[in-house]
Amino acid sequence: MSDAAETTLTLQQVTDIINQAKVGGANPMLIGMQIFSTLGDNITVAGDILKLALATSAIPITGPVVPLVDAIQSVTKTGNHISVALNQDTETTLNNNRMRFKKEMSFDVIPTPNAPGLNNILGVAAHKIVTWINIQSVQLKQNLGLWNVAVGTSLTTINFDLN
């Protein structure tokens, strides 16, 4: 446990962080990584404040991510470690893949501007064939202006383009 007091961010603070992240580019994954990177240390954001800040900042939450965002109760950041509390386990389909997000998820943010990513992911899995495969990392990479994401699992790394 850290000696520093935890801060609960206000709507204005979260909106400012989101707007600052939007300056970095239009890629939604990159904006998300920027938001996690710039949240500050020892903070908590209530789910309702996060949803309102996304709407205020004109970040549309549509399609398969709606159930996940709607389930967020809180996001807590200590150093580079993020914990997300959902009101229940949540499933959705992303890019034709069934995804499961546990009620308690966590990950570490890799704070590099050229190749941001998430490591040590706990509580996220993708369904493949007949089983769930735990997702362990997500890494964004840019090559000649095109963004690619590498999703690391216990079995393999899957690469796909975002552009």
Question: Which DSSP letter does residue 23 get?
Answer: H
pLDDT for 1: 44
Residue pLDDT, tens place only, 84-107: 999 999 999 887 888 999 999 999
pLDDT at residue 55 greater than cutoff 70: yes
pLDDT of 96 reads 80
**Helix or strand (DSSP H, E) at 47:** helix 47-56
pLDDT for the residue 2: 45
> Using alpha carbons only, what angle is made at residue 121 by residues 10 and 153, rounded to the nearest 5 degrees?
145
Could you tell me the two tokens for 124? Answer: 């996220």
Q: Does the pLDDT at position 113 exceed 80?
A: no
- DSSP conformation letters of 22-40: HHT-S-HHHHHHHHHHHS-
Q: What is the mean pLDDT of the chain?
A: 86
Range of lowest pLDDT (78-87, 94-103, 111-120)? 111-120
The predicted model gives 113-132 an average pLDDT of 86
Q: What angle do the packed helices 11-23 and 28-38 form, to 10 degrees?
A: 130
Count CA atoms closer than 13 A to 2's CA, side-chain side: 11
User: Whats the size of the chain, residue-wise?
Assistant: 163
Share of the chain above pLDDT 70, in %: 91
Strands (E), the chain: 7-8, 43-46, 72-78, 81-86, 90-94, 97-110, 117-128, 131-143, 146-153, 157-161
Identity of residue 154: S
pTM of the model: 0.85
Q: How is residue 45 written in tokens?
A: 């954001």
Residue 71 has pLDDT above 90, yes or no: yes
